[in-house]
Structure 1
Amino acid sequence: MFKAAIASFIIIATSFSFHFWPLPQKSSYHSLFISNSLSDNESISNHLYMLTRRPHVAGSEANAEAAAYVLSTLTSYNIPSHIASYDTALTYPVSRSLVLTRPSPDPPIKFSLQQEVYEGDPYADVANEVQPTYHAYAKSGTAVGPVVYVNYGRVEDYVTLKEMGVNVSGNVVLARYGEIYRGDIVENAYEEGAIGVLIFTDRKDYGGGGGDVKWFPDDKWMPPSGVQVGSVYNGAGDPTTPGWPSTEGCERLSDEEVERAGDVPLIPSLPISWADGDAIVRSIGGQVASDAWQGGKDAPVYRIGPGPGIVNLTYNGKQVLSRIENVVGIIEGAEEPDRFVILGNHRDAWTFGAVDPNSGTACLLEVAERLWKLQKKGWKPRRTIIFCNWDAEEYGLIGSTEWVEENRQMLASRVVAYLNVDIAVGGAGFKASATPQLDELLIQAAKQVPDPDNSSQTVYDSWISSTDNPAKIGRLGGAGSDYSAFVQHIGVPAADISFGEAYPVYHSMYDDFIWMNKFGDPMFQRHVAVASIWGLLALKLADNEILPFDYLPYALELQRSVESLKDEVANRGITLVPLVKSIKELETAATKINEERKALEGSKSWTSMCKDSQKVRELNDRLMMTERAFTDREGLPGRSWYKHLIYAPSKHNDYGSTSFPGIDDALEKAKNLNTADSWHSVQHEIWRVARVITQASLCLKGKLT
């Protein structure tokens, strides 16, 4: 199967390195922005503390208070700000229960499904405000049946089960979190005939591997009662308003229409702790799972089942039309106010959200404060900078999606780039993902910012020396955060940055200020580094005379993706010639526009070039609009909201991504059906991708055929 997933990053090459420098008078402001005189880790710490005093799930009073805090803070920095609100269909738990019936003489177990407050927890007084553990948009209902252990619940895991002669149909599956999006775990189980799903936080993955390892508050690991909650909705935006904004009084789909759309689950599910998962594992008999499917140290032997343990899973939820609030702040550009550089982060959290997402919110406010300080020193951005603090991201990227859908035409014609930070800090180690034309800009910014864990080097220095994917940039094909609507729906260049990768207390009630202060970033210097890189990217995009985009890495990456396709279509009567040809045209066009830029910069002084504003503007428009050309108005087959034909989520893993997702989907179908029509569909998708790449080349060239 052809997959160029997020895991298949590209190695940063310096052979096509291109230096993009702002005007001399701007560069001094950029240097000042990342200086110690403007950065403030104490202020960041205070913002995080204020934002995480109470659990603040989307639609709650506490989240509205957090929105008011962000709004008042931006306003205090003299940034004109407002609330963009939407009425969206959110779900909350009403009741849930889980009973395990074990073979005699063991008595049944009725699980409490409670995350425990630890001794000395400073948030014990508001712990009752944490929502009961549940999956947003889970199907209400009851499932009673033997348990089958399915590892991570991936498509390949079910292939393994079939090879073992195990059928999950009519049973309740037990899957562990990790590897794929929880909504796809439920969807894959439904496709295999399961009647219910339990997803547990395995100690192997989140508890430090088991054994004598301590857990929070004594160490960073998930406690035994910790539960990863989250959404199991497989779409983007309000499910009742697919493709249009959830404004007051708008058209909405009925519950039946939403179910027919196929993005909400059709069987009940519950998230459970590793302690509860451990008890259920012990009740399962049958074949012993392979080593790769086993748990951590001192875990029971993982067997496949079915049964003999039987679970009775009941979940009842309610759907409520809830008001969500995006906070939007705008610093208007002095010379090109109609060109937008957008910084985005979401605010809503399943519980306290110190890591996810409010480490990012605190950094957003830090960037805003530093830009305010620059303005007091005389700086004005060339282009408009917009701060967006999204709501209801956790439910399915709802706040950002509704805003993009409402402002689609203006955003599609005016946005230069979207810069996302979701989790700003979850640990050590810089991580970055982007559309390829921003690769070099990311590298240059990382070279200018000190490494928060080693002040003798830069972030880039530690990045390239990392043993875990050294100096690699991921791609934004997954639907894991708010860049999705910008990249995958309207085709805007984008980047996403963070420190740390997975963190153990993800989406649990233990993701609080204490965890961050003790384990995530005790000195808040990693937060400072995120704010520095994020703001520096924004400044270069907002201030540079010529936009710092280079499409040559894009063409080179697409060439590598085509190479991966060759074995997949060999001996199937499929030709890749149109795709190869279109990518070659893109490479030529990217080389030519780089030469145009060099000519503009080299043959004239900066002063004289500024006078030729129309030529610069036209060149910038081509650079800005080329990403839009990779979209197709019909979108992906069966997934029309996703318009980008180069980057989109994997059909069976919303967190994963594929290059050429339409081709990938068609290939999977053709392999299963192996009919002439199915292979013809593969060829059709190859032609579609070739056409959008050709459009991108024409956009870069800027001349009619």
Structure 2
Amino acid sequence: MKTSTTTTTTILAIATSYLFLLITPTQKSTYHSLFISDSLSDNASIYNHLKTLTRRPHVAGSKANAEAASYVVSVFTSSYIPSHIVSYEVSLTYPLSRSLVLITNPSTTFTLHQETYEGDPYADVADEVVPTFHAYAKSGTVAAPVCYVNYGRVEDYLTLKDKNGVNVSGTVVLARHGKIYRGDIVKNAYEEGAVGVVIYSDRKDYGGEEKWFPDEKWLPPSGVQVGTVYGGLGDPTTPGWASSSSGDGECERLNKDEVEKGGDVPLIPSLPVSAADGEKIMRSIGGPVAEDDWQGSKDAPIYRLGPGPGILNLSYKGQDVIATIQNVIGVIEGAEEPDRFVILGNHRDAWTFGAVDPNSGTAALLEVAQRLGKLQKKGWRPRRTILLCNWDAEEYGLIGSTEWVEENREILASKAVAYLNADCVVGGPGFNVRATPQLDELIKRATQEVKDPDNSSQSIYESWTSSGSSPLFGRLGGGGSDYASFLQHVGIPAADIAFGGDVAGYPVYHSLYDDFVWMEKFGDPMFQRHVAAASVWGLVALWLADEEFLPFDYLSYAKELQILYNTKYLNHSLAWRIWRMRFQIKT
């Protein structure tokens, strides 16, 4: 009888334990581990997403970009993530006519055309690529002697004036891409009195001296870096308010004169050109020989400063259009704090095919969405709401994200937890991140959990720190991508993650050659960097969405502020000592 009772008790205990396991909710940490597991990640799916997104050029405002938005919606929906499109009517510019003539003996008329390559699978849609131009460039025609100004930085103009006695006033300046934003190149030239600007991609910076794409990763001689020269954020005709129509019709807008007076659009015409065209112009320039570090690649002509004797006749006419752009917003509602938002964002529009910029990030965003959808099927639900945002018109000036922030400023300021951005998420090897300091430790933790896609024997963190004692976090100054309005206008903690990240790794930036073939051959042949980027991106988002107490580390922030303070104090102190010695001031 005693044995029977003991057996019954044991059976009941086992049954109770089993029942307890059945009804006990899975720990959030289990879902987090599952999110980065091989069973949920799918490089084949990323491959297909990127191939679909980049099959046609899809500049903002185009039908192709609207179709890409529909594709994003379809993936969100199939992943059990409710989504919707938020549209805005914004001011965009497109080129109507362009010409560039080098007046020498004989004269040269440049075609301003990027050539397709042998075996190019996208040659049949290459004519859909927007002609090479600068968005928001000033329309006009100028003819003047040409001056070479290196990268067009303030210090470059000081070198021209102080060391060489060269004045660029009244000239068309020739500058090379790199070092500073192209819009600042044009702005600096205007402030120095130039009447026009031509910017080219020097082979010294973008490669292609002997071999180039499709044989190597480098920019071909006819490759041109297209881009905006607008200096602001958001629609330039609606600064500070959203470009959305009210019930009364069109929203209020600044006129063209008011926009120009605002100082964020250029006041002289400009054009981008290829390395081949840039060198042709360089050969027409006489005058003093440029500094050694201003020279080009080993077989380039000797770079001289000018002005002239070559004369450039530059003509550009743009068209201002009020176009519809579409942000896609996916929502996974939080179970306990549905009014707090963790936001992941990437833009969709591209100047050409956009395999790296930005659709490597879009493919990673869709991978994150699909993994989160699988977690939901297994019972997971976030504590806080997760928003998956796919922005439009970033290339023109972060327009889609900025308009959305302007429309939702109050709720974002009080309810947003963090904004996590991924733009050119894969351009080559090597993990790179820029973030506000309170996210540093969280990102370190995530990289410790995810394998290095180029060395599976160690974590991303181990590879990242192998060259030093600690990771090098960049900070989010300027307006480089869609984090800008969240951080700089609303003060939301933000991060921007990527593999690769410099011109040397991704020289086809904003050119015709940023296509799927380049990505498959050079950017990420096995698409494992995309998988790793999605893992880090999503894992940080999960921790921010699920942990009861927000895992911010303000000690990192305090240390960063102390370093900045000490540096500023040291610089002021050193400057004061030098000033005292120079003027023999006694204290």
Normalization by structure 1: what TM-score?
Answer: 0.76
* Displacement after TM superposition at 1:564 (Å): 2.1
Q: Deviations over 1:545-600 (max 9, x none)?
A: 111101111111111112222254449999xxxxxxxxxxxxxxxxxxxxxxxxxx
Partner of 1:266: 267
Give the Cα–Cα distance (whole angstroms) in 2 for the partners of residues 99 and 562 of structure 1: 51
Give the Cα–Cα distance (whole angstroms) in 2 for the partners of residues 517 and 573 of structure 1: 55
Partner of 1:625: none
Partner of 1:229: 226
Give the Cα–Cα distance (whole angstroms) in 1 for the partners of residues 422 and 131 of structure 2: 27
Give the Cα–Cα distance (whole angstroms) in 2 for the partners of residues 334 and 412 of structure 1: 21
Give the Cα–Cα distance (whole angstroms) in 2 for the partners of residues 297 and 356 of structure 1: 30
Partner of 2:83: 81
Letter in 2 for 1:565: K
Answer with 159-168 or 395-404: which moved more.
159-168
Partner of 1:151: 150
* Displacement after TM superposition at 1:231 (Å): 0.1
Q: Deviations over 1:228-253 (max 9, x none)?
A: 00000000000000000001211000
Partner of 1:121: 120
Going from structure 1 to structure 2, the CA distance change for 1:240 and 1:373 (only over 3 Å counts) comes to same
Partner of 2:566: 563
Match of 1:217 among 214, 219, 229: 214
Q: Secondary structure at the match of 2:27?
A: helix
* Displacement after TM superposition at 1:384 (Å): 0.3
Q: Deviations over 1:631-663 (max 9, x none)?
A: xxxxxxxxxxxxxxxxxxxxxxxxxxxxxxxxx
Q: Deviations over 1:63-89 (max 9, x none)?
A: 000001001110111111000000000
Give the Cα–Cα distance (whole angstroms) in 2 for the partners of residues 24 and 53 of structure 1: 41
Structure 1: gaps spanning 5 or more residues:
1-22, 575-705
Give the Cα–Cα distance (whole angstroms) in 2 for the partners of residues 535 and 550 of structure 1: 19
Letter in 2 for 1:82: H
Partner of 1:170: 170
Letter in 1 for 2:345: G
* 1:204 is aligned to 2:195: no
* Displacement after TM superposition at 1:41 (Å): 0.1
Give the Cα–Cα distance (whole angstroms) in 1 for the partners of residues 571 and 461 of structure 2: 36
* Displacement after TM superposition at 1:465 (Å): 1.2
Partner of 1:522: 525
* 1:50 is aligned to 2:47: no
Give the Cα–Cα distance (whole angstroms) in 2 for the partners of residues 520 and 143 of structure 1: 40
Written as runs of structure 1 = structure 2, the 5 A alignment for 1:659-698 is none
Q: Deviations over 1:478-527 (max 9, x none)?
A: 21000000100000001110000121000001000000001100000000
* 1:455 is aligned to 2:490: no
Partner of 1:297: 298
- Post-superposition, which runs of at least 4 consecutive aligned residues in structure 1 deviate over 3 A? 567-574
Structure 2: gaps spanning 5 or more residues:
1-24, 578-587
Give the Cα–Cα distance (whole angstroms) in 2 for the partners of residues 571 and 132 of structure 1: 51
* 1:240 is aligned to 2:243: no
Written as runs of structure 1 = structure 2, the 5 A alignment for 1:323-472 is 323-466=324-467, 471-472=471-472
Letter in 2 for 1:140: S
* Displacement after TM superposition at 1:353 (Å): 0.2
Normalization by structure 2: what TM-score?
Answer: 0.91
Give the Cα–Cα distance (whole angstroms) in 2 for the partners of residues 571 and 540 of structure 1: 44
Give the Cα–Cα distance (whole angstroms) in 1 for the partners of residues 520 and 223 of structure 2: 19
Written as runs of structure 1 = structure 2, the 5 A alignment for 1:583-602 is none
Partner of 1:25: 27
Give the Cα–Cα distance (whole angstroms) in 1 for the partners of residues 113 and 277 of structure 2: 10
Partner of 1:661: none
Partner of 1:645: none
* Displacement after TM superposition at 1:90 (Å): 0.1
Q: Deviations over 1:379-427 (max 9, x none)?
A: 1101000000000000000000000000000111110000000011000
* Displacement after TM superposition at 1:433 (Å): 0.7
* Structure exhibiting the larger radius of gyration computed from Cα positions: 2
Going from structure 1 to structure 2, the CA distance change for 1:525 and 1:94 (only over 3 Å counts) comes to same
Give the Cα–Cα distance (whole angstroms) in 1 for the partners of residues 531 and 467 of structure 2: 20
Letter in 1 for 2:142: A
Give the Cα–Cα distance (whole angstroms) in 2 for the partners of residues 283 and 33 of structure 1: 59
* 1:137 is aligned to 2:131: no
Partner of 1:100: 102
Q: Percent identity?
A: 72
CA RMSD of aligned residues (A): 1.4
Give the Cα–Cα distance (whole angstroms) in 2 for the partners of residues 452 and 297 of structure 1: 35
Partner of 2:493: 493
* Displacement after TM superposition at 1:430 (Å): 0.2
* Displacement after TM superposition at 1:470 (Å): 6.6
* Displacement after TM superposition at 1:274 (Å): 0.1
Give the Cα–Cα distance (whole angstroms) in 1 for the partners of residues 98 and 286 of structure 2: 26
Going from structure 1 to structure 2, the CA distance change for 1:130 and 1:466 (only over 3 Å counts) comes to farther
Letter in 2 for 1:172: V
